[in-house]
Amino acid sequence: MIGPRRWPAHPAPIPGEALSSWLHRIAACYGIDLTLLGDDIGFTLGRSAADDIDMVPPSGMIDVLTERTGVTVDRMRQMSVDGGVPWLLDTLEPVPDCFETYARQLSVLRPPGTQNTRDVPRWRPWLLSPHLPTRACPECVAASPSPHPYLLLWAIPIVSSCPVHGCWLEDPLTARGYFGMWELEPPTSRPAPEHILTLDQRTHDAFTIGQVELPRRNVHAGIWFRLLRTIIDELSCPISGSRKVVTDLIRQVWAQAGYRTRDGQAFWYPYEQQPEPVQRHTMEAAATAVMLLENGSITGLGNDSDLFRPVPDSVISDGTPPPQPPTRAPFLPIGERLSLREAFTAAVEDARVNPAGARTLFNFAAYKHNDADQIHDVVNAFIELAIPLDFHRTTPNR
């Protein structure tokens, strides 16, 4: 037993740290391990405790930790994958049609609706087994004291590099969070190419500030994660039966990335079920696709490819005055009423171009809906209606 209530001394969590990493470091302060720390706060932690905690902390654990450390519930929730609901993933529990909903509503490289419908039972974006990957940035680890903190993002195969140090993540070949081998023999970090670092910086931004800067506009984190997963799907799907313009485009991206088309895979598996090297190559191909879209080397055939289109350097006017935007009376004349359908259409049109209108509509749609499932339905509806979610900012401690 290390203390009845508030722990007198403990390290503060670092930005992006996984919950299990922080608990490891608190336990180390008292010279105990995670299991004993769990006993102290009334939770029996098994052998896979670190993965369980980083996926979904046991019910009630966060409240006890808040009491012991003073760190807020919101802050702590962001230290597990569960805190990514509903932006990173709609829900932690797999639901029917989740794959089509998440990975097929947007389109970048391929025309919309041209891939075979896939029913992937128990699919969740970015995650496969309860065991999270063990990768880490060798430079981040070398720069921190033992026990070295590790980031939640390293455990999700949605990034492959460290934008801070410009290097690939590496596998320490031990259980996640243990870096003994690296302390004995520090690995040589390998520089990652610029387009990978750019992609991963955006994903870091999505996690940390809730939005991502693209050439033509900022997009909400929820849109970014789905855009990225969409591009991965478009690169992974079979190309047989597709129009030549599509197959040429997909082949060009893979060739530019330096790999065979679809990394030579004969059968289709969702990204989450691909072997680790195939996942890595597919993410490289996705980063390559974004680079080629943004430098104008390729043109996407999907509805959302414009997001990656480069902004023209300058527009030279020929003297013609720009067209006036259509004017709309702010209020209807007295006595005129919109039908419900007309009112809804007007609200959606306004929300597409007006963040304040989008916020109002979101708040209205989400009124009294407090659980993640209901909120994610609203988010999906916004995505379907092409209403940007930019208005939604995460709070500083989330």
192 scored as a contact of Zn ion (CB under 5 A): no
250 scored as a contact of Zn ion (CB under 5 A): no
Instruction: Name the DSSP class of 5.
Output: S
Q: What span, in angstroms and rounded, lies between the C-alpha atoms of 287 and 297?
A: 14
137 scored as a contact of Zn ion (CB under 5 A): yes
Q: Give the angle subtended at the CA of 309 by the CAs of 308 and 315, to the nearest 5°.
A: 145
Instruction: Name the DSSP class of 386.
Output: T
165 scored as a contact of Zn ion (CB under 5 A): yes
Q: Which residue has the tokens 């569960």?
A: 82
Looking at beta carbons only, is 164 or 175 nearer to Zn ion?
A: 164
Return the range that interacts with Zn ion (CB under 5 A); candidates 103-111, 130-138, 173-181, 382-390.
Answer: 130-138
85 scored as a contact of Zn ion (CB under 5 A): no
Shortest distance in whole angstroms from residue 159 CB to Zn ion: 11
Which of 12, 73, 164, 245 touches Zn ion (CB under 5 A)?
164
196 scored as a contact of Zn ion (CB under 5 A): no
Q: Give the angle subtended at the CA of 279 by the CAs of 274 and 280, to the nearest 5°.
A: 155
- CA torsion 6-10-16-20 (nearest 10°) is -80
201 scored as a contact of Zn ion (CB under 5 A): no
Q: What span, in angstroms and rounded, lies between the C-alpha atoms of 67 and 80?
A: 18
153 scored as a contact of Zn ion (CB under 5 A): no
Shortest distance in whole angstroms from residue 179 CB to Zn ion: 13
Which of 37, 103, 162, 219 touches Zn ion (CB under 5 A)?
162
Among 376, 373, 346, which residue's Cα sits nearest to residue 361?
346
Q: What span, in angstroms and rounded, lies between the C-alpha atoms of 23 and 111?
A: 46
Looking at beta carbons only, is 138 or 222 nearer to Zn ion?
A: 138
118 scored as a contact of Zn ion (CB under 5 A): no
Looking at beta carbons only, is 189 or 261 nearer to Zn ion?
A: 189
CA 164 to chain centre: 18
Interface with Zn ion in residues 13-42 (CB under 5 A)? none
Interface positions with Zn ion (CB under 5 A)? 137, 139-140, 162, 164-165
